[in-house]
Amino acid sequence: MTQTQPPQETSAPQENSSPPPQTSPGSPASPGPSMGRLVGVDLARALAVFGMYVVHIGPPLSATHGVASWIRYMSDGHSSVLFATLAGFSLMLLAGRREPKTGLAGRQARARIAIRAVILLALGTVMAMEYGGVIILGFYGVYFLLALPLVRLSVRTLAIIAAAFALVAPQLAFVLTSLLTPSVQQSINTYDPLRHLSEVGVLDLLLTGFYPALTWMSFVIAGMALGRLDLSCGTIQKRLAALGATLTAAAYGMSLLLAGKGALRSLAEDGPSSSGGSGSMPTGSGSMPADAGSFPDMPASSLLTAGPHSGTTFDIIGSVGIAILVIVGATVAMDRLPRLRRLAKPVIAVGTMSLTAYVGHFLAQTALSTPAGTGTQQSWLPLIMYVLGAILFAAIWSRFFRRGPLEYLLNAATRPAKHIR
């Protein structure tokens, strides 16, 4: 689901750090290349928000056809991957962007990240208690904590680590989960305080859940590497576009070659726990129970597939490629098409308050009793209304405030980090 990195300094559906005034969507200043770069990140984040709305509120993939089917398929899994990648980008903004903060400033930045991580983990747990199922925010909290030791690394080192995770982690996860017997899992869950509170425990967060850190850290670390780059540079934009296209084509092409036509089928539709259907509100950005992302009971040949949420090497590499293409595409569009940038301001505003937009659509579904994720929702009208509602709220709010409601509270909660010495 679950959140992601600023025009200011925002992040997935989860945070928003102190934004430079000139990057605010409502700022009267004429946006230069630097602003365009960050606004492009917010546009990408807004697209990820809407992708989650598609999964949670739109019709299931089986009920769509043509272009609608393509939109539904691309949203399933790829929206949450885009958030995770942007979360890594956001970490670099908080930690010093291209020049990592050191000394006192570095310690305070890491403290801010740690506080945000704990808050996201707590918020995700509370929402899971209220709505049931999987909420991505808790997973993001874990990602942030695990990424803390990496915030001062170079682009090259981060890229190598991300690649190593993509190549090794899926196979390691397969082996580890294969060794987890029901009795072992039950023993671990018995002593897990998070598991007593909701359906998602420590084991789910790290290994067997829908967004397990072991495999999803690839996205976060890839985003951290992107955060070290000057995305306003035309040469870098071209190289990243080529890299994104190559990763996407190679991963999905190899998967199709090795696994056949079923390689790209959505796990949310055809996986071992597909009863969740289209991604219901109670289960956050995916639709399956907390253990649906685990490998037990799946053959080793499943490691050759590349369907959304399959957690394989091909899925990770291909999804990173798509995330890079979206981020670079949004950046280039905002940099080079000023008229489009002006027209997109209301959409960009959604990206500056993605945590509010994400949590808000859960609250709205509860208040409006929207029949999402039941597997019988056939109309796109509810989805369109939610998207328009989010755009309208964000556009109005951003004219009066620099941060969204929840982003303001999150930023305020990190102020004690200033007392770190």
Structural tokens at position 302: 């499943």
Phi, psi of 65 (to 5 degrees): -145, 155
pLDDT value at residue 57 = 87
Structural domain includes residue 2? no
Q: How far is CA 80 from CA 178, 219, 365, in A?
A: 26, 10, 19
pLDDT value at residue 272 = 33
Structural tokens at position 54: 């598609």
Give the whole-angstrom CA distance, residue 129 versus residue 115. Answer: 21
Q: Which of 122, 156, 42 is nearest to 409 (CA)?
A: 122
pLDDT value at residue 11 = 44
Amino acid at the residue 352: T
Angle at which helices 33-57 and 354-368 cross, to 10°: 20
Tally of structural domains, the chain: 1
Q: How many helices (H) and strands (E) does the chain have?
A: 18, 2
Dihedral sign of CA atoms 61, 65, 69, 71 in order:
negative
3-state secondary structure of 211: coil
Q: What is the pLDDT along the chain (421 residues), one digit of tens a residue?
A: 433 333 334 444 544 433 333 333 333 333 333 444 589 999 999 999 999 999 888 888 777 778 888 888 888 889 999 999 999 999 998 888 788 888 999 999 999 999 999 999 999 999 988 887 678 899 999 999 999 999 999 999 999 999 999 999 999 999 999 888 888 888 888 888 888 888 888 999 999 888 999 999 999 999 999 999 999 899 999 999 999 999 999 999 998 888 876 666 654 444 333 323 333 333 333 333 333 344 445 667 788 888 888 889 999 999 999 999 999 999 999 999 999 999 999 999 999 999 999 999 888 888 877 554 444 467 888 889 999 999 999 999 999 999 999 999 999 999 999 888 8
Give the whole-angstrom CA distance, residue 186 versus residue 183. Answer: 5
Q: How far is CA 28 from CA 31, 216, 342, 346, in A?
A: 9, 38, 11, 14
Structural domain includes residue 263? yes
Structural domain includes residue 4? no
Give the whole-angstrom CA distance, residue 11 versus residue 411. Answer: 12
Give DSSP secondary structure letters for 357-399: HHHHHHHHHHHHT--TTSS----SHHHHHHHHHHHHHHHHHHT
Structural domain includes residue 1? no
**What 8-state DSSP symbol labels residue 241?**
H
What is the signed CA dihedral for 219, 221, 227, 232, rounded to 10 degrees? -50
Reported as a single tens digit per residue, the pLDDT across 12-50 is 454 443 333 333 333 333 333 344 458 999 999 999 999
Structural domain includes residue 367? yes
3-state secondary structure of 11: strand
Reported as a single tens digit per residue, the pLDDT across 116-150 is 999 999 999 999 888 876 788 999 999 999 999 99
How do strand 16-17 and strand 9-10 relate by DSSP bridges? antiparallel
Reported as a single tens digit per residue, the pLDDT across 184-193 is 888 888 888 8
Structural tokens at position 412: 């305020």
Judge whether 46 and 348 are in contact, CB under 8 Å. Answer: yes
Judge whether 335 and 257 are in contact, CB under 8 Å. Answer: no
What range does the domain containing 308 cover? 9-419
Structural tokens at position 201: 């425990």
Judge whether 113 and 91 are in contact, CB under 8 Å. Answer: yes
Phi, psi of 232 (to 5 degrees): -85, -10
pTM for the model stands at 0.82
Structural domain includes residue 105? yes
Burial environment of residue 419 by CB neighbours within 10 A (0 to 12, 13 to 18, 19 or more) = exposed
Phi, psi of 82 (to 5 degrees): -60, -40
Structural domain includes residue 220? yes
Q: Which of 5, 13, 15, 44 is nearest to 244 (CA)?
A: 44
Structural tokens at position 119: 């808050």
Structural tokens at position 180: 């987890």
Q: Which of 377, 419, 406, 416 is nearest to 124 (CA)?
A: 406
Structural domain includes residue 250? yes
pLDDT value at residue 25 = 36
